Amino acid sequence: MNSCTERTIGIGLAVVLSCSLWLGGCGSGNESPVDDRGLSIRVTEPVQRDFDKIKEDGVLRMITRYSSNTYFLHQGIEWGFEYELVSRFAREHDLALEVVITGINESPYDLLNSGKGDLIAANYAATPERQRYVDFTRPYNLVDQVLVYSSELDNPPQTIEELAQSGLSVTVRSNSSYFHRMQDLKEEGVDIDVNLVPNEKDTESLLFDVSQGKYEVTVADDNIFQAAFSYMDGLVQGPTIAEKDTIAWAVRNNAPELKKELNNYLEGHFQLREDKEPKRSLFLQVLRKRYFEGGRRLANYYSPNPSIGESDGISPYDDLIKSVADSAGINWLMVTSVVAQETKFNPRAKSWAGAMGLMQVMPQYSEVSDTTLLYNEEINVREGVRILKRHLDHYSYMDSTNQWSFSLAAYNVGEGHLADARRLAIDQNKNPNEWEPVADALLKLMHRSYYRKARHGFCRGIETVRYVREVKNRYEIYRNVLTMRQLELNQSSPGVLGFF
């Protein structure tokens, strides 16, 4: 629980699994049949949303997959190569970052062109098929496509031609660049049998299935294969079927300013030398080492199989938070998001203003006489939940969305500054019980013409507005990822009840 002048932790995040999964379809744009090259496209006319609108909203929406090389959760904290690379761009432009995860039978291109997201960052190759519907930034990586065999195969084919004659099926997604390459090979006279799987299967999941002998052959980018090979047994690398695919971010083809800003950013991290070899920034080298060369440590962060993994929950404190939150009658995932926002689950954290422990409880608001006990995880969570519950009760006459927004704001900035903002909203003939006008008033309280008339003076309202957005967005991450994993488990293990 921070004072008004404290800085919040991290970048705002939200995860939306997909329009089709949650809303029954995107429902915007023009309808069109499935593309003849395997892309399922419904929204062909992009909405008008360029960088000026993104800056105005203060939010950049990143479309991606849930995987170890794109975006995933580890102990309640967000990780992933694509996530970290986009996050840095968002921070440099003072933007909150929302993460939109594609769901079952969902097209990332539909999400992009319908305005549900602003860029696709998912290790995508800039193929001609995709460029029919979206534009691409400059590259930030070059990769080779390689065949990957199950180690259970005896004498796997050593050439593409041998594979075509072997009768083996290559398992890929229909919307992948690997499928496009299979079609190109067929046009070149090399007809390989292809087994198409649902598009929600990412490359890492398919590699895992191949390692378990479920499929005989798949295709992967060489960097993804090397990362998986370091912690998956049962994989054998085959011949290269495509060289130096350019990996880039996809944007709407009517968003030239966003593309320009992204290109300027990527140029500082990835360039091609005269010999066509890549030159990477230190930051990009660190990310590559972390996510593609990290060895078996990566398996501690992410498993493509929902039945295995080090942790069956969101954070290291799930049982404690569930118990305390359930006793108080409030949502445990929202409390978990508060803890992640405040301290990233560090029980020894202490702010410059004196806030202590997991939930950054201010001693003056605590009922604990011995303040050193606020470093005790259970005591701290109970005190934090008690304070949060008090705010929720105070705003209980509001609908649940506004109730949580106001309660989180009060937890962050205090009731005094929030009351100033509500009075200012009234002065401007706006509803003081709606979060949006009050959030706008909080931002105004950073300017002297407004805060000099306020009872509690200056408030760095931008931090409180971000705090509320970030906590609520992270809650959506937790809720949707739990649901996604449950769906995956039900698909892989029919009849199994519950994952967490």
Beta strands in 103-161 (DSSP E): 119-125, 135-136, 141-150
In the structure, what pLDDT confidence band is assigned to residue 205 with cuts at 50, 70 and 90?
Answer: confident
Q: Is the pTM of this model over 0.85?
A: no
Q: Are 304 and 322 contained in the same domain?
A: no
Domain residue limits at 431: 318-474
Is 5 part of a structural domain of the chain? no
Q: Is the pLDDT of residue 192 over 50?
A: yes
Of 220, 246, 272, the domain-final residue = 246
Answer yes or no: 342 catalytic. yes
Query: What pLDDT is stored for residue 16 in this prediction?
Result: 46
The mean pLDDT value for 385-404 works out to: 96
Among 117-121, 464-468, 493-497, the range scoring the smallest mean pLDDT is 493-497
Residues 347 and 429 in one domain: yes
Give the CATH number of the domain where residue 298 resides. Answer: 3.40.190.10
pLDDT at 6 over 50: no
| Torsions phi, psi for 398 (to 5 deg) | -90, 165
**Proportion of the chain above pLDDT 70, given as a percent:** 84
pLDDT of 306 > 70? The answer is: no
Q: 151 and 20, same structural domain?
A: no
Name which residue leads in pLDDT, 277 or 322: 322
Q: Express as a percent the part of the chain with pLDDT over 90.
A: 56
How far, in Å, CA of 293 to CA of 230, rounded?
Answer: 8
Tell me if 147 sits within 8 A of 219, measured CB to CB: yes
Q: Within a domain: residue 490?
A: no
CA-wise closest residue to 83 among 176, 135, 12, 134: 12
Averaged pLDDT for residues 189-206: 86
Return d(Cα 478, Cα 337) in angstroms, integer. Answer: 8
Question: What is the model's pLDDT at position 451?
Answer: 86
Average pLDDT for 333-354: 91
Task: Determine how β-strand 59-64 pairs with β-strand 96-101.
Answer: parallel
Grouping H, G, I as helix, E, B as strand and the rest as coil, residue 480 is helix
CA separation for the pair 46, 134 (Å, rounded): 9
Distance between CA 308 and CA 205 in Å, rounded? Answer: 13
Are residues 43 and 155 located together in one domain of the fold? no
Q: Are both 228 and 265 inside the same structural domain?
A: no
Instruction: Tell me what the pLDDT averaged over the chain comes to.
Output: 84
Q: Please tell me which residue in 78, 216, 342, 383 is annotated as part of the active site.
A: 342
Residue 360 sits in the same domain as residue 458: yes
Looking at residue 86, the DSSP 8-state letter turns out to be H
Give the pLDDT confidence of 216-255 residue by residue, as tens digits: 999 999 988 988 887 788 999 999 999 999 999 999 999 9
Could you tell me if 180 and 257 lie in one domain? no
The lowest-confidence range among 210-214, 294-298, 323-327, 394-398 is: 294-298
Q: Are residues 197 and 237 in the same domain?
A: yes
State whether 410 and 340 are in the same domain.
yes
User: Is 491 a member of any domain?
Assistant: no
Closest C-alpha among 9, 5, 88 to residue 349: 9
- Whether residue 496 is contained in a domain is answered as no
Q: Band the pLDDT of 10: cuts 50, 70, 90.
A: very low
